[in-house]
Amino acid sequence: IRILAIESSCDETAAAVVENGRTVRSNVIYSQIATHTLYGGVVPEIASRAHIEKINQVTAQALTDAGLTLAEIDAIGVTYGPGLVGPLLIGVSAAKAMAFAAGKPLIGVNHIEGHVSANFIANPDLKPPFLCLIVSGGHTNLVMVEDYGKFRILGQTRDDAAGEAFDKVARSVGLGYPGGPKIDRKAREGNPDAISFPRAKVAGSPYDFSFSGLKSAVLNYQNHAKMTGEEIPVADLVASFQKAVVEVLVSHTMEAARDFNCKTIAMAGGVAANSALREAMRLACEAAGYTLTYPELGLCTDNAAMIGSAAYYEYCAGRRSGWDLNAVPNLKLGER
Ligand code: ATP
Ligand code: MG
Ligand code: FE
């Protein structure tokens, strides 16, 4: 089964062809980062326009790279939420038009379910059940993937998402947008034990996260340094911040794995590309004898291959979308 997948929930216009949910035949991503960098973040209106300009070219390229025509595709999958409403509508409209014109089934996909599914591409042996740490720009969830498309949410963030915390801290020290990769690189020059930052625990909810206190501590540290005229040690600061985030993510995941006796762990979302997180999780899983999977760097951040994988399992479950498929900006995980 070959699926043409489209992703346009934020600032990447992406299309891919995925075979049987696991094999990537093509994966085209047009990133708008250069455009949005001027504004220090994604401007929804500008993103929508850029999606309109690129969507046809990107989908055509995905077919060409796969060496296939639209007629040879079995279904079209598209992200319909969560994300920005304008950008989502571009992808949904394009997918509907192509599916209708070519007489192919249409499958609406949850973007976060897509992030999780990137692991099926990364590891051909990975099968539910497994525990997945989802850490993206807008989400931080610890979930039990009970079956394909079936999730049990164990924990979530009470305030900022992990990626959001990276982006805000990066902006505060002048590293620019998007902050995650810049902090990752800068932290390598710093001492992660230089500054002691809080590791938040949410009372009564062992798997929940909170990053706003940590973010405030980073800002307070800078304000204090400015008042006393001290120079801000940017590398040490971001390395210490990163270590605080990574420690909490790893310890919560390990605790859930123990409590639920789950020996297979996966990571998903843009922050899963973080080198310190990948290394710390790898060491923790090695010590505990757990199997760990994470996507290659390019499949952690937004892409359409992951949507093609998720769409395949929806297809196998017999789920199809109608021509009334609409964008759902605040779609929740496991919701249809
Ligand atoms: P969501 O998936 O929740 O809708 P999104 O699509 O914007 O949000 P992703 O594409 O999954 O998020 O990931 C982008 C986020 O990942 C950004 O916050 C970015 O800073 C972060 N990120 C990317 N690479 C790294 C890295 N190496 N280290 C830390 N964070 C990173
Ligand atoms: Mg993006
Ligand atoms: Fe995403």
Per the CB < 8 A criterion, the answer to whether 33 and 44 are in contact is: no
Amino acid sitting at position 320:
R
Percent of residues, the chain, with pLDDT higher than 70: 100
Q: What is the pLDDT of residue 196?
A: 96
User: Exposure of 318 by Cβ count < 10 A (0-12 exposed, 13-18 middle, 19+ buried)?
Assistant: exposed
Q: Identify the residue with better confidence: 35 or 330.
A: 330
Per-residue pLDDT for 18 more than 90?
Answer: yes
Per-residue pLDDT for 40 more than 90?
Answer: no
Return the closest-CA partner of residue 133 out of 295, 308, 306: 295
CA-closest residue to ligand 1 atom 5:
137
- Per-chain mean pLDDT for the chain: 97
Read off the pLDDT of each residue in 281-285 and give the average, rounded to a whole number: 98
CA-closest residue to ligand 1 atom 28:
274
User: Exposure of 322 by Cβ count < 10 A (0-12 exposed, 13-18 middle, 19+ buried)?
Assistant: exposed
Ligand 1 atom nearest residue 242's Cα: 29
Reading the block at residue 82, the tokens are 């969560």
Split at pLDDT 50, 70, 90, the class of 336 is confident
Interface predicted TM-score (ipTM) of this complex, two decimals: 0.99
- Identify the helix (H) or strand (E) that includes residue 285: helix 275-288
Pick from 88, 271, 277, 299 the residue to mutate for probing ligand 1's pocket: most ligand atoms within 8 Å of its CB. Answer: 271
Give the distance (Å) from ligand 3 centre to CA of residue 146.
Answer: 21
Is 139 assigned to a binding site? Answer: no
Per-residue pLDDT for 274 more than 90?
Answer: yes
Q: What is the pLDDT of residue 82?
A: 98
Instruction: Give the integer Cα–Cα distance in Å for 48 and 327.
Output: 13
Reading the block at residue 153, the tokens are 């949410």
Return the closest-CA partner of residue 32 out of 18, 11, 55, 59: 11
Read off the pLDDT of each residue in 234-244 and give the average, rounded to a whole number: 98
Question: What is the tens place of the pLDDT at every residue in 314-329?
Answer: 999 999 999 999 999 9
Instruction: Give the integer Cα–Cα distance in Å for 162 and 230.
Output: 28
φ/ψ of residue 11, rounded to 5: -120, 20
Instruction: Give the integer Cα–Cα distance in Å for 14 and 8.
Output: 6
Give the distance (Å) from ligand 2 centre to CA of residue 10.
Answer: 6
Read off the pLDDT of each residue in 279-301 and give the average, rounded to a whole number: 98
Q: What is the pLDDT of residue 3?
A: 98
Per-residue pLDDT for 26 more than 90?
Answer: yes
Per-residue pLDDT for 200 more than 90?
Answer: no
Question: What is the tens place of the pLDDT at every residue in 87-115?
Answer: 999 999 999 999 999 999 999 999 999 99
Residues 6+ apart with CB under 8 A from 259: 206
Give the distance (Å) from ligand 1 centre to CA of residue 128.
Answer: 24
CA-closest residue to ligand 1 atom 4:
138
SS3 147: strand
Cα pseudo-dihedral 321, 326, 328, 334, rounded to 10 = -10
Cα pseudo-dihedral 20, 148, 245, 8, rounded to 10 = 60
Instruction: Give the integer Cα–Cα distance in Å for 299 and 276.
Output: 17
Question: What is the tens place of the pLDDT at every residue in 134-172?
Answer: 999 999 999 999 999 999 999 999 999 999 999 999 999
Read off the pLDDT of each residue in 280-303 and give the average, rounded to a whole number: 98
How far apart, in Å, do the first and last CA atoms of the chain sit? 22
Q: What is the pLDDT of residue 144?
A: 98
Q: Where are the beta strands (DSSP E) in the chain?
A: 2-7, 12-19, 23-31, 75-81, 106-110, 130-135, 140-147, 150-156, 264-268, 291-293
